[in-house]
Amino acid sequence: MGKFVLKRLASMVVTLWMIATIVFMIVNVLPGDVGRKVLGPTANANDVAALNAKLGTDKPLLEQYFRSLKNLATFDFGDSFQTGGRVMDLLWPALGRSAKLAILAFIITIPISIGAGIFAARRQDKLADRVVVNAGLGSSSLPEFVTASVLLAVFAVKWKIGSVYANVPAGTSLFGQLEYLLLPAMAMVVSYFGYIARMTRAGVITALHADYTRTATLKGLSSGQVMRRHVVRNAMAPTITVISVQIGYLFGGIIGVEKVFNYAGLGTMMLNAVGKKDIPVLQTAVLMVGIIYMISTLLADLLIAALNPRVRLERGS
Amino acid sequence: MRNRGDALRDHWADSHSAHNSRRPEMLPGNVAWLTGRPGAGTLCAKTPGPRSISAHINGGAILNHSLRQLRRKVGPLENELIDAFEAGAVSRRTFLVRGSVLGLGVGALGMIISACGGSDDATGTSGGTDAAPTGSGTDTSSGTDTTAAAAAGGIKQGGTMRLASQRPGSPLDPIAMDNIGSYTPVVMSMEYLCGKGEGAARAPMLAEAWSPNDDGSVWTFKIRQGVKWHSGTDFTAADVVGALDRLAPTNLAAYIDPGSAVATDASTVTVTLKNPDGQFPYQVSPYNPQAVITPPDYEIGTLFDQKPNGTSAFKLESYDVATGAKYVRFDEWWGGKAYLDGVEIIFSDDNATQINGLLGGQVDAVIQFAVSDADALFASDSVTVDSIQGAGHRQIWFNVREGTFSGEKGAKIREAVALGVDRQALIDTVLQGRGDLGNDHPIAPVYEYWDSAQPQRERDVEKAKALLEEAGAAGISLTMHAPDLQEIALLAEVVQSQLKDIGMDITLNVESTSTFYTRWCKVYDSKTEPAGCDGGEEFGIVDYGNRGTPDVYLVKAYATGEWNSAHYLSEEFNAAVKEYQASLELEARKTAVKKIQEIAHRDIPYVIPYFYNTLTAYSKTVTGVQHTGLGHYFLGQAGFTE
């Protein structure tokens, strides 16, 4: 197991290097120079050149690339081109905000969707099953920003329930934060519910028809024991994989929801950084999302291994 | 505890003892009370008119005497203005605006109006300079709202006002900031020498009074005493000199050199200009947002959020570009104690979020928004929308130096485009009626020297088609570039369909602002003649914000400036601009501006379809808000209604 984790960590470093390289290449393909983007169209060329010299963005690309790699390797993430402040001063709070929203969304989504999936699987092809499947299909086919916009227009603007701005003012109590975060979290819940519920349903149906389930039932276990010990345990592997992938997505991919609710999370930071060609912020933010993605899939693999001895054995060998 | 208005009123009592200075309406920034008709019994000092014969002799004699004294004290520029007003050559509104720019205090202006009368509909000034409000709101000068509400016991002490603003687009360097998102957080704490009065008028701020010398080349500012920096130190005349020295090589480079400003004593600063300019106070007022008076420990490039300080009613408590800025009341503000406990600015990237925030009650104001996003605000009865007439406009540029639009044929195509656009339809559809007609020159009706007699260019599809035919360009295909900014994308679409009627096939290329500005001009200060803006596309739409004077448009877009995307070079035009800038008296300025309008209208390097109104909105629960349309919200006298 230890060897497995070490191997995975080593491959993470390689992946991160590739991410850093790809981001650097993409950002430098974008049109416009950094000094001009930061200072705006009204600045004169001397000021633009001076800023480029100060930021080092007038150097050859290869030199800039190696310098950025060296900085990343030494955990020196540099200063934001846009604000002049430290990149991590900008991104740590953003990461915290994204984590808060993601955790809330997960706390709501996971029990509801797994519960709905199991509920539907046990009533396969009955009305309840159809309702869950179709509701899941409908909700997951709605883009998050559409759900977010509808929730915002109906709840926050029309009924004045919840907030248009999701950023939580400092000093708000844990319960008070719900007022700000519930609507964007619900937008994410709607999107993920269908996916996770259907995945759970499929896993449970497969497990319900499996030989070991029949054996367990025949040997006289109660249906609750069969579900807990045999069905759910075996059915969860694909669901956990899906959830782990969604975690990375939640942190980096919910730009639409963050934008609608003006939430200053990692997604918003990345979007702004692209617009302003703020390479240090963009590179660090993408790396952060990459690390979260890799850690969550690693944890998922470990969890699946813990649940399923066969996987553990294969990995150990 | 002193009320926040008391200090202002005391100041007024000191400066203008001839008047009943305790009148609450006489707060700086409010000259509305002067616009009423003068009472009976007036006497004009220089040449008493027929009215004066029937005047009340005693009152008239006192006014007459005071006016003579005033005329002796002030310089030729002020006397020229008084002459023009007296002769009926300028309207009362124009007189108030010009008088405020020349540094005539409210008391002096009131006395002259009382003595000379004057009308709002004097010849040649139908546009007026006052930013006449349209739409559902008014161009609020806080004085009126605040004092009226205060008198009725309408404003309560306390509360935090939340403003929705664009996210700062660049570091908060007060001198180099270039976007409205950066202006708002900086000017919440920092102030100007000259403040904003009613409409385009100037009002005292950090300078209590100012006056030009005989030819407008040296301006003397009386610096307000008893002002404190947020850091606790005293604000001095030397601080003003330091701030102007930092502006000299940058923002004010066209006007002054380092060392041009000198503190002659503890309360006086004289500024010697490179060239005479009768409108210089505009350059040290909110109309030139970067001209805030920065603290003495600032250098060029110091960021406001890293060294927060200022002289206003609110000092910065925290700043985060990701979320917003928080301010707390500064109790030692020279204007007295503000009503509000604090101000919070909430940043976001798009208008829709800001508007939803106001409608949802999460913010109390939206600093600025485009008409295209705002139907719900116009329809709301809990929100005041102020529509401020201004000079902001869009330029449809043509490269007149080379390519399709150059030469004689090009001139015909340009004229065809100018005749092909239906300006009124553009205002009606794109601006929902909130704008003034443009006439292919950058002089807006809001300027007091606008020549209203110039014939308006009207749509003429047949003539436009004929011109294209003559130029051999019937059915021509062109690409029009435009930024995705406010209403411009919609404008581009409507222009595209209008020009289809004259047989032009326009392909639109609407891009994000960050991409667009690299395409509009590639080299901004090229040394090729005309200097600047080389390598850009030949045809497109670009935005120009509101300015107190048209100098930026004239010098940067039309003359040899760095935004001259038309590559327009006309000695005749440049001479008219020089004449305009050198003209210190209104009549001379009108003559020069008339020429500018005619040349630009004739040569058409740019089609200017309209001048748009700037929109801001705030909840009806707040009052006393004073704003400029350039991102400033002066809230020293604002508060929540009870």
Q: What pLDDT digit, counting tens, does each position of B275-287 carry? A: 888 888 988 999 8
Separation in Å, CA of B462 to nearest CA in chain A: 38
B359-385 pLDDT, tens digit per residue, is 988 899 999 888 877 888 888 899 999
Q: How far apart are CA A249 and CA A282, in angstroms?
A: 16
B75 has a pLDDT exceeding 90: no
- B257: which 2 tokens? 């050199």
pLDDT of residue B124: 32
Cα A109 to Cα A134, A202, B582, distances in angstroms: 17, 17, 70
Q: Predicted confidence band at B608 (pLDDT cuts at 50, 70, 90)?
A: very high
Mean pLDDT score across all residues of chain B: 81
Tell me which of A112-126, B60-74, B573-587 is least confident: B60-74
Touching check for B353 and chain A: CB below 8 Å?
Answer: yes
> Does A32 contact B514 at a Cβ distance shorter than 8 Å?
yes
Higher pLDDT, A283 or B21: A283
Could you report the per-residue pLDDT of B17-67, keeping only the tens digit for each? 333 333 333 333 333 333 333 333 334 544 443 333 334 445 567 777 788
pLDDT in tens, B414-455: 999 999 999 999 999 999 899 999 999 999 998 888 999 999
Give the per-residue pLDDT at B219.
95
Which helix (H) or strand (E) segment holds residue A215: the answer is helix A211-218
Burial B221-232 (b: 16+ CB within 10 A, else e): bbbbeebebbee
Minimal Cβ distance to B353: which of A46, A164, A271: A164
pLDDT in tens, B292-326: 999 999 998 899 999 999 999 999 999 988 889 99
Question: pLDDT tens digit string along B481-497?
Answer: 998 888 899 999 999 99
pLDDT tens track for B196-228: 877 777 889 999 999 999 888 999 999 999 999
| Residue B400 pLDDT > 70 | yes
Least confident range of B119-128, B179-188, B604-613: B119-128
CB atoms A83 and B363 under 8 Å: no
The predicted pLDDT at position B527 comes to 60
Give the rounded percent of residues in chain A with a pLDDT score beyond 70: 93
Nearest to B124 by CA among B602, B575, B598, B593: B593
Measure B23 CA to nearest chain A CA, in Å.
41
CA distance B310 to chain A (A): 20
Q: How far apart, in whole angstroms, are the C-alpha atoms of residue B223 and residue B271?
A: 12
Check CB contact under 8 Å for B349 and A259. yes
Query: CB–CB of A167 and B346 under 8 A?
Result: yes
**Per the CB < 8 Å rule, is B167 touching A272?**
yes
Higher pLDDT, B111 or B30: B111
Number of A to B CB contacts under 8 A, please give it: 105
Residue B109 has pLDDT above 80, yes or no: yes
Give the pLDDT mean for B79-100: 79
**In this complex, do A39 and B323 lie within 8 Å of one another by their Cβ atoms?**
no
Residue A56: pLDDT over 50:
yes
pLDDT tens column, A191-231: 888 888 998 999 999 999 988 888 988 988 888 888 888 88
Task: Indicate the residue type of A134.
Answer: N
Using the structure block, give the residue that is written with the tokens 């227009």: A153
Average pLDDT over residues B507-535: 72
DSSP character at residue B26: G
Hey, which residues 33-72 in chain A have their CB within 8 Å of chain B? 33, 36-47
Contact A262 B360 (CB under 8 A): no
% of residues, chain B, pLDDT over 90: 47
CA dihedral B180, B186, B191, B192 (to 10 degrees): -40
**Is residue B17 a contact partner of residue B131, using CB atoms and an 8 Å limit?**
no
Query: Which pLDDT score is estimated for B18?
Result: 33
Which of A263-277, B56-70, B211-225, B513-527 is modeled with the greatest confidence? B211-225
A62 to chain B, minimum CA–CA distance in Å? 24
Say if residues A139 and A190 touch (Cβ distance below 8 Å). Answer: yes
pLDDT of residue B130: 31
What average pLDDT does range A293-315 have in this prediction? 75
Percentage of residues in chain B with pLDDT exceeding 70?
82
State which of B250-259, B333-342, B530-539 shows the largest mean pLDDT: B333-342
pLDDT tens per residue across span A132-165? 999 999 988 888 889 999 999 999 888 888 888 8
pLDDT band at B598 (very low <50, low <70, confident <90, very high): very high
Q: Is the pLDDT of residue A39 over 80?
A: no
B161 falls in which pLDDT band (50, 70, 90)? very high
Residues B303, B173 contacting (CB under 8 angstroms): yes
Residues of A in contact with B360 (CB under 8 A): 156-157, 160, 163-164
Q: Which residue in chain B is spatially nearest to A152 when comparing CA positions?
A: B356
Residue B280's SS3 state is helix
Q: Is the pLDDT of residue B621 over 90?
A: yes
Mean pLDDT of chain A: 85
Has residue A294 got a pLDDT over 90?
no
Place of tokens 């497990």: A207
Partners of A83 on chain B (C-beta within 8 Å) are 168, 171, 321
B482: left (phi over 0), alpha (psi -120 to 50) or beta: beta
**pLDDT confidence band for B532 (50 / 70 / 90):** low
Within 8 A of A259 by CB-CB distance, chain B residues are 349-350, 353
Establish if A268 touches chain B: CB-CB under 8 angstroms.
Answer: yes
Taking the CA of residue A159 and the nearest CA in chain B, the distance in Å comes to: 8
Q: Please report which confidence band the pLDDT of residue B525 belongs to, taking 50, 70 and 90 as the band edges.
A: low
Please name the member of B167, B170, B521 whose beta carbon is closest to the beta carbon of A38.
Answer: B170
In this predicted structure, what is the pLDDT of residue A42? 58
pLDDT at A251 over 80: no
Distance CA B105, CA B92 (A): 15
pLDDT confidence band for B583 (50 / 70 / 90) = confident
pLDDT at A305 (0 to 100): 80
